[in-house]
Amino acid sequence: MKKADVVVLGGLSGITAGISCRRHYPDKKIILIRKEGTVLIPCGIPYIYGTVGGPENNVIPDGLLESNGIELIRGEAIEVDREKKTVVMKGGEIIGYEKLVFATGSVPLVPPIPGIDKENVYPVKKEFEYLSEVHSHMNMVKDLVIIGGGFIGMEFADECRKGRNINVTVVEAMPHCLQAAMDNEYCEEAQAKLEETGVGILVNQTVEAILGKKKVTGVKLSSGKELKADMIILGIGALPNTDLAKKAGLELGFRNTIKVDRYMQTYTDPDIFACGDCAEKQSFFDGRPTGVMLASIATSEARIAGANLFSPTHQNCGAISVFSTVINGRAFGVAGLTERCANQMRAKIVIGTAEAPDTHPGGMPNSCHTKVKLIFAKDTGVIMGGSICGGKPVGEMTNVLSACIMHRMTADDIVKFQMGTHPALTSSPIMYPIVNAACKAVIPLKASA
């Protein structure tokens, strides 16, 4: 029987947990078990169908494992025996562990729509061979319907028309695409950017049935309208992949995620940790369980889990929820709460907004107009969230907001923020929109104090 100090089950967050463990415990023997031969960069999946040109250009290199002295075993773990501290592989191999990390991720949600099992209906699985098949098939398609206008659906819609002359329609149940992630004004701008590319968007509509005999030929909408479709992409969410954890007797919590404490240690077994989409998450803001699944959260949890395996080192502060996307060249990012979420939590808030070009002068080549909206708690002035749209800097500006949120900075603190600026790289120091949005919020915050 093979044996290791640490066995990790998983992909993206599994690799991160393994690397974190290696940094903290240089002498431990680490094995990573993963089902896939090749592991994809999950967030890059939509770009396989346009910008990067194929799944082979969107992989996490296994060199990362080699350079960190982590042994890779390809195959599916089908059983965990907690008494014997072993993992049983599908092929019968048994691997012993001292510490085990579940990073088994999530699988796409497949709704029970009549006809969902027809040919050419594709949930977005994070599997290389499967996505290669979708890629070859997409080159023969004329009418593509994307069910779900979240960031996965929107990114797919934007990408799959690149180099292909196909009709693409996004069907979204809510009044706006991206509504679960962004405030209305940002959703409207993102939708308009996508529509500029020729993609059709139908909101307030659900797909009631998938039509066709063996293969899909169309969809029937809640309005009664029918749309032609020879391919369907499903992008409506994901479910934690926790069947193996359940079979091993680990306690599951919110929406069947593995119950973990702040050290990412499972409630049930001190020698088993969990991280990523399969692990339960609490909101940074109110401590309530949240179903948000993002690579930013998964890898943060993985670094915490890996560090804590043999001695408590880091604690999880909860899910802030930071993400960014780009639609037809315009970037959108949100860190923490949107105005809609803050209102749903009945938080009393003050909002500050600012706009500026992301170069100075704004006439520099490739300058983009940037809009920032910050949300502060009315009683304390602490930042609770921020939304940004603009050019490429939006990705990192959103990350700056996440740091401000994590450290509970107030509007006052952000006013004093010393940002580095450069004409070609940032907004002007006079107009820096994160700072100016905070400056604008300080006045109403003072008035309400």
Ligand X SMILES: Cc1cc2nc3c(=O)[nH]c(=O)nc-3n(C[C@H](O)[C@H](O)[C@H](O)COP(=O)(O)OP(=O)(O)OC[C@H]3O[C@@H](n4cnc5c(N)ncnc54)[C@H](O)[C@@H]3O)c2cc1C
Residues at the contact surface with ligand X, assessed by CB under 6 A: 9-14, 33-36, 39, 42-43, 45-46, 76-77, 103-106, 124, 126, 152, 241, 244, 276-277, 293-296, 298, 323
Query: CB-based contacts of 331: which residues, under 8 Å, 6+ apart?
Result: 324, 325, 388, 389, 390, 391, 392, 394, 395
- Is 219 in contact with 228 (CB distance < 8 Å)? no
In 3D space, the residue among 66, 50, 54, 279 whose CA is nearest the CA of residue 168 turns out to be 50
For ligand X, give the closer residue by CB, 319 or 377: 319
Query: CB-based contacts of 321: which residues, under 8 Å, 6+ apart?
Result: 283, 284, 290, 292, 294, 297, 334, 335, 336
CB of residue 56 to ligand X, shortest distance in Å: 17
For ligand X, give the closer residue by CB, 42 or 390: 42
For ligand X, give the closer residue by CB, 9 or 210: 9
CB of residue 259 to ligand X, shortest distance in Å: 16
Query: CB-based contacts of 215: which residues, under 8 Å, 6+ apart?
Result: 118, 119, 120, 230
CB of residue 45 to ligand X, shortest distance in Å: 4
For ligand X, give the closer residue by CB, 36 or 93: 36
What is the rounded CA–CA span in Å between residue 95 and residue 202? Answer: 50
For ligand X, give the closer residue by CB, 4 or 103: 103
CB of residue 217 to ligand X, shortest distance in Å: 25
CB of residue 36 to ligand X, shortest distance in Å: 5
Q: What are phi and psi of 418, to 5 degrees?
A: -100, 100
Residue 337: both structure tokens together: 């709460």
CB of residue 104 to ligand X, shortest distance in Å: 4
CB of residue 109 to ligand X, shortest distance in Å: 11
What is the rounded CA–CA span in Å between residue 164 and residue 159? Answer: 10
For ligand X, give the closer residue by CB, 104 or 426: 104
For ligand X, give the closer residue by CB, 42 or 55: 42
- Is 147 in contact with 171 (CB distance < 8 Å)? yes
For ligand X, give the closer residue by CB, 298 or 347: 298
- Is 121 in contact with 110 (CB distance < 8 Å)? no
Using omega within 30 degrees of 0 as the cis cutoff, is the peptide bond preceding 361 cis?
yes
CB of residue 333 to ligand X, shortest distance in Å: 10
CB of residue 39 to ligand X, shortest distance in Å: 5
Query: CB-based contacts of 206: which residues, under 8 Å, 6+ apart?
Result: 171, 173, 221, 222
What is the rounded CA–CA span in Å between residue 373 and residue 361? Answer: 22
What is the rounded CA–CA span in Å between residue 388 and residue 417? Answer: 18
For ligand X, give the closer residue by CB, 33 or 264: 33
